[in-house]
């Protein structure tokens, strides 16, 4: 193995790539070669660092110097000043809310201060396409210990004791789901990793898969061992080209070194993984719709019960877990249930990966302990609202989640507390909206989404999503009356009560929460036939 005096890690996450990080990496490799430093300095493309707003980014190790918004024209200076002479290029350093203050390392940025990286521990630190780098960081050690020294029951107990709850949105206890699948009697059982991340505003699973695919693969093998499955599947969105490519490469590498396939670690346990791809349907994130899609059918949800843990893929017991859930397994098995419980809240242990989008300074990916407040996320980590505007609303949990107003800034971000506040934590999407926006307008976009994504199988959802959109259109255009509002409430109740799956049940939810917490926006449209946002934009007072 060759040793290098310095490593330059260039973020190859999708957001930095869009801003030209591939070109930057290629130019850097060339410039290093030209300077005759190829034997001393290694360039590595990693997964997402998280601070997507500041891309393209790179970190130079061992000194951990973090450069932001790097342009092709900056490369000669980085190579000459930093890599050759050891002088930091200060104009490329991160500057937080105080522009006079330079921040040298990524972990010193205010963006990192309150984060705790468990799931994302390797993201941005290793080359995601190298199994060697994953192993060098301790990867697959836990798997070896689990397979050779623990029984499946012991693994399930540890996960149950950790209190881990599913990170896909519903928050069902993972250990309990595993135990149901383990108890089901069948010759063949399946494990499915749900990577069909369709919730608008959510891209955490994508960045986990692109930044550290092996931690998900290792988590899957442990899960398969615990529940008694020999075959695992990763069902990914068809749109996630890079995730699919990295996963396939990771699986192939793991197979080559004997970490997948027959008799893993001479334990007698066989397990393999196949990647399956979707074709664009939000409803396929619902586990039974996903199973139908994997069987080559329309992705329509099935009636429950029977639950997939009893009768899932091909009618066999099937455990469906979210990407982030599975990425939590290795740290839990490595450091134990008690350690895991020491993070987060009593009912929601552990960390949560959130994606920050909308009107916020630091858009991107973060991982924080469950129970951190919305205010801390927005102002301490997210850098606040740009352009001197005021915070107006946060939509939590993606488009199927609810809207919270400024009165809820101190709500702890865990499943129970957010639900008590009247919204949902969901998959961890956080859309921040400033005071130039009218909630009615944002809700209209949500209603359009549900009308498009209803699978059409059950009437309450198929017809209901159409009527929801008509109602919001009428409000937005100043045509809605009090009678329309009453009718809408009845419709919402009917959809919640009688839709077949969560899509139809939650479609009215964002509208209901918006009406509850932002009555003035609706009143302006319905009663006064005007929009508050146009006043906010021009600075006029109502």
Give the interface with other proteins as residue ranges (CB under 8 A): 14-15, 18-19, 52-53, 197-203, 206, 237-241, 276-282, 293-300, 355-359, 363-365, 395, 399, 429, 431, 433, 437, 441-442, 445-446, 448-449, 452-453, 455
Nearer to other proteins, 351 or 355 (CB): 355
392, 383 in Cβ contact below 8 A? no
**Residue 19 Cβ vs other proteins, minimum distance, rounded to whole Å:** 8
Q: Taking CA 244 as the corner, what is the angle to CA 225 and CA 268, rounded to the nearest 5 degrees?
A: 20
Q: Which of 452, 454, 448 is nearest to 501 (CA)?
A: 454
Q: Which residues contact 450 (CB under 8 A, 6 or more apart)?
A: 399, 465, 468, 469, 503, 507
Nearer to other proteins, 282 or 307 (CB): 282
**Residue 454 Cβ vs other proteins, minimum distance, rounded to whole Å:** 12
Tokens 């390797």 sit at which residue?
A: 122
Nearer to other proteins, 112 or 269 (CB): 112
Q: Taking CA 444 as the corner, what is the angle to CA 442 and CA 447, rounded to the nearest 5 degrees?
A: 120
**Residue 517 Cβ vs other proteins, minimum distance, rounded to whole Å:** 16
**Residue 398 Cβ vs other proteins, minimum distance, rounded to whole Å:** 8
Nearer to other proteins, 14 or 131 (CB): 14
Nearer to other proteins, 328 or 357 (CB): 357
Nearer to other proteins, 297 or 486 (CB): 297
423, 403 in Cβ contact below 8 A? yes
User: Backbone phi, then psi, for 163, in 5-degree steps?
Assistant: 80, 15
Measured in whole angstroms, the distance separating CA 224 from the mean position of its chain's CA atoms is 23
Nearer to other proteins, 200 or 412 (CB): 200
Q: Please give the full DSSP string across 212-224, using - where no structure is assigned.
A: -HHHHHHHHHHHH
Q: Hey, how many other C-beta atoms are within 10 angstroms of the C-beta on 487?
A: 14
**Residue 445 Cβ vs other proteins, minimum distance, rounded to whole Å:** 4
Nearer to other proteins, 91 or 452 (CB): 452
**What's the first-to-final CA gap in the chain, in angstroms?**
69
The whole-angstrom separation of Cα 261 and Cα 384 is 48
**Residue 24 Cβ vs other proteins, minimum distance, rounded to whole Å:** 16
**Residue 26 Cβ vs other proteins, minimum distance, rounded to whole Å:** 17
Q: Which residues contact 379 (CB under 8 A, 6 or more apart)?
A: none
Nearer to other proteins, 156 or 365 (CB): 365
**Residue 430 Cβ vs other proteins, minimum distance, rounded to whole Å:** 10
**Residue 180 Cβ vs other proteins, minimum distance, rounded to whole Å:** 24
User: What sign for the dihedral angle of Cα 288, 293, 297, 300?
Assistant: positive
Nearer to other proteins, 325 or 399 (CB): 399
Ramachandran sector of residue 281 (left: φ over 0; alpha: ψ -120 to 50; beta: rest): beta
Nearer to other proteins, 293 or 351 (CB): 293
The whole-angstrom separation of Cα 12 and Cα 110 is 22
How buried is residue 503: exposed, middle or buried, by Cβ count under 10 Å (0-12/13-18/19+)? buried
**Residue 66 Cβ vs other proteins, minimum distance, rounded to whole Å:** 18
How buried is residue 3: exposed, middle or buried, by Cβ count under 10 Å (0-12/13-18/19+)? exposed
**Residue 200 Cβ vs other proteins, minimum distance, rounded to whole Å:** 3
The whole-angstrom separation of Cα 82 and Cα 74 is 11
Output b/e per residue, 154-166; b: 16+ Cβ within 10 A.
ebbbbbbbbbbbb
User: Count of alpha carbons within 13 Å of 187, Cβ hemisphere only?
Assistant: 1
The kind and range of the H/E element at 443 are helix 439-453
Q: Which residues contact 479 (CB under 8 A, 6 or more apart)?
A: none
**Residue 292 Cβ vs other proteins, minimum distance, rounded to whole Å:** 10
Interstrand relation of 231-236 and 190-195 (parallel, antiparallel or unpaired): parallel
- 82 bridge partner residues: none
Nearer to other proteins, 203 or 271 (CB): 203
The two three-digit tokens of residue 448, written as one number: 């359009």
**Residue 244 Cβ vs other proteins, minimum distance, rounded to whole Å:** 11
The whole-angstrom separation of Cα 163 and Cα 347 is 7
Nearer to other proteins, 294 or 332 (CB): 294
């Amino acid at each position: 193995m060759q040793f290098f005096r310095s490593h330059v890690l260039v973020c190859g996450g999708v957001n930095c790539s869009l801003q030209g990080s591939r070109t930057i990496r290629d130019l850097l490799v060339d410039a290093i070669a030209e300077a005759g430093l190829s034997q001393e300095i290694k360039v590595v493309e990693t997964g997402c660092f998280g601070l997507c707003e500041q891309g393209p980014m790179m970190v130079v190790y061992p000194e951990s110097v973090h450069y932001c918004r790097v342009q092709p024209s900056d490369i000669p200076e980085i190579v000459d000043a930093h890599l050759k002479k050891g002088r930091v290029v200060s104009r490329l350093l991160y500057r937080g809310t105080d522009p006079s203050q330079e921040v040298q390392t990524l972990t010193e940025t205010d963006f990192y201060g309150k984060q705790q990286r468990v799931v994302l521990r390797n993201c941005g630190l290793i080359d995601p396409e190298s199994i060697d780098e994953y192993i060098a960081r301790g990867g697959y050690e836990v798997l070896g210990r689990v397979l050779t020294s623990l029984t499946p029951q012991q693994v399930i107990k540890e996960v149950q004791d950790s209190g881990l709850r599913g990170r896909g949105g519903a928050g069902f206890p993972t250990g309990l789901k595993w135990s149901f699948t383990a108890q089901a009697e069948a010759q063949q059982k399946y494990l499915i990793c749900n990577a069909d991340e369709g919730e608008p505003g959510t891209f955490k699973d994508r960045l986990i898969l692109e930044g550290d695919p092996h931690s998900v693969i290792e988590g899957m093998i442990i899960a398969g061992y615990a529940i008694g499955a020999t075959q695992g599947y990763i069902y990914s969105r068809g749109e996630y080209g890079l995730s699919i490519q990295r996963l396939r490469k990771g699986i192939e590498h793991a197979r080559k070194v004997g970490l997948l396939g027959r008799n893993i670690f001479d334990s007698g346990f066989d397990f393999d993984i196949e990647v399956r791809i979707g074709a664009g349907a939000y409803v396929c994130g619902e586990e039974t719709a996903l199973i139908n899609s994997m069987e080559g059918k329309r992705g329509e949800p099935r009636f429950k019960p029977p639950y997939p843990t009893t009768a899932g893929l091909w009618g066999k017991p099937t455990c469906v877990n979210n990407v982030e859930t599975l990425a939590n397994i290795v740290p839990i098995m490595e450091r134990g249930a008690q350690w895991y419980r020491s993070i987060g809240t009593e009912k929601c242990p552990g960390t949560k990966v959130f994606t920050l989008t909308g009107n916020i300074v630091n858009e991107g990916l973060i991982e924080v302990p469950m129970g951190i407040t919305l205010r801390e996320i927005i102002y301490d980590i997210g850098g606040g609202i740009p352009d001197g505007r005021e915070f107006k609303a946060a939509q939590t949990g993606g488009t199927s989640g609810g809207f919270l107003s400024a009165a809820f800034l101190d709500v702890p971000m865990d499943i129970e507390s957010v639900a008590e506040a009247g919204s949902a934590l969901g998959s961890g999407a956080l859309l921040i909206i400033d005071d130039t926006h009218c909630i009615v307008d944002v809700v209209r976009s949500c209603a359009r989404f549900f009308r498009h994504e209803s699978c059409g199988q059950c009437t309450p959802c198929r017809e209901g999503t159409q009527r929801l959109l008509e109602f919001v259109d009428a409000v937005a255009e100043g045509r809605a009356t009090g009678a329309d509002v009453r009718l809408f409430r009845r419709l919402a109740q009917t959809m919640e009560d009688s839709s077949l799956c969560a899509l139809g049940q939650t479609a009215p939810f964002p509208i209901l929460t918006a009406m509850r917490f932002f009555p003035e926006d609706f009143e302006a449209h319905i009663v006064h036939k005007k929009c508050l946002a146009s006043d906010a934009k021009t600075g006029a007072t109502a």
